């Protein structure tokens, strides 16, 4: 079983739609959690951290459920520029980032 | 934010040759650097972790004699792919962290190097 699992997609949505991505992780000792965005042939870039209390940054909302070892990302009012691959990332006690396989989002006009 | 550069951004080489990729931290001292590899439509896989002045720690399944890592200074780490073969074609990404940066969001990524072995 992979340490961080995501639905690879692609998710094809129209502009303005709301889309949600999920991620599960296997290591219950994982310390912190993040969503990264990666554009084609580019390096990943930190989108936001994920907290149990939930956190929101504009149109993006992230949520962590430690009991279920589940992380989510909600994007409201999708823009064409949101098209990218979204990586669920877990930070463990070994001070290392473990990346999920990514979920590809395509926002269409 | 902190800046990490990689050179070259793209390289095409013949099978059997060696290729060196540089990773530099431009405005901070990187005590730890990480090397990742990403195959098409797959996620980043950590290859090795290097601390300045010491030998790199390789992940399971990564051949240390094939992927030579040197981290001789606080601003530069190099990855040399020796005797490259077509299956080594991939996107290689480095990241760097400073001495007081123990949070995941203070690990800064380079722009990546796309290696194509013919």
Q: State pLDDT tens for residues A40-70.
A: 989 999 999 998 888 999 999 999 999 999 9
Confidence of residue B104 (pLDDT cuts 50, 70, 90): low
Position A72 confidence tier, pLDDT thresholds 50, 70, 90: very high
Residue A64: both structure tokens together: 């962590």
Of A105, A24, A25, the closest CA to residue A59 belongs to A105
pLDDT category of residue B52 using cuts at 50, 70 and 90 = confident
With beta carbons under 8 A apart, name residues in chain B contacting A97: 34, 46, 104, 107
Angstroms from A53 CA to nearest CA on chain B: 18
Average pLDDT over residues B33-45: 92
Q: How far apart are CA B72 and CA B110, in angstroms?
A: 18
pLDDT over threshold 80, residue B1? no
Chain B window 30-49: which residues touch A at a Cβ cutoff of 8 Å? 34, 41-46, 49
Hunting for tokens 């902190």 — which residue is that? B2
Q: Do residues B10 and B113 touch, judged by C-beta distance below 8 A?
A: yes
Please, which contacts does B23-28 make with residues 24 or more away whose CB atoms are closer than 8 Å?
B23/B76, B23/B77, B23/B78, B23/B79, B23/B94, B23/B96, B23/B110, B24/B75, B24/B76, B25/B74, B25/B75, B25/B76, B25/B96, B25/B98, B25/B108, B26/B2, B26/B75, B27/B2, B27/B3, B28/B2, B28/B96, B28/B98
Residues of A at the B interface (Cβ-Cβ below 8 Å)?
Answer: 8, 32, 34, 41-46, 49, 87, 89, 91, 95-102
Residues A107, A13: Cα–Cα separation, whole Å: 5
Per-residue confidence at B36, pLDDT binned at 50, 70, 90? very high
Helix then strand then coil, in percent of chain B rounded to 5, is: 5, 50, 45
Chain B closest CA to A42's CA: distance in Å?
Answer: 6
Point out the least confidently predicted range of A86-95, B3-12, B31-40, B60-69: A86-95
- Give strand pairing partners of A109: none
* Cα torsion A96, B25, B60, B44: sign: positive
**Residues B66, A43: Cα–Cα separation, whole Å:** 24
Cβ-based neighbours of B22, under 8 Å, separated by 6 or more: B6, B7, B76, B77, B78
């Amino acid at each position: 079983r992979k340490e961080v699992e995501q639905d690879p997609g692609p998710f094809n949505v129209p502009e303005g739609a709301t889309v949600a991505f999920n991620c599960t992780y296997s290591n219950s000792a994982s310390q912190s959690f993040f969503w990264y965005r990666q554009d084609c042939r580019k390096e990943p870039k930190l989108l936001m951290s994920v907290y149990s209390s939930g956190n929101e940054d504009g149109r993006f909302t992230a949520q962590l459920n430690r009991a279920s070892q589940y992380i989510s990302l909600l994007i409201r009012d999708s823009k064409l520029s949101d098209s990218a691959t979204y990586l669920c990332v877990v930070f463990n006690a070994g001070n290392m980032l473990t990346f999920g396989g990514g979920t590809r989002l395509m926002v269409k006009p | 934010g902190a800046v990490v550069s990689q050179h070259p951004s793209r390289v095409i080489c013949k099978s059997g040759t060696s290729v060196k990729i540089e990773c530099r931290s431009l405005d901070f001292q990187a005590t730890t650097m990480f090397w990742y590899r990403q195959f098409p439509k797959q996620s980043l896989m950590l290859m090795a972790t290097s601390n300045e002045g010491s030998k790199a720690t390789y992940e399971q399944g990564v051949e240390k004699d094939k992927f030579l890592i040197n981290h001789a200074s606080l601003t530069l780490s190099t990855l040399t792919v020796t005797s490259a073969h077509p299956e080594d074609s991939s996107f290689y990404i480095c990241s760097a962290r400073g001495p007081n940066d123990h949070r995941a969001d203070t690990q800064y990524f380079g722009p990546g190097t796309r290696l194509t072995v013919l």
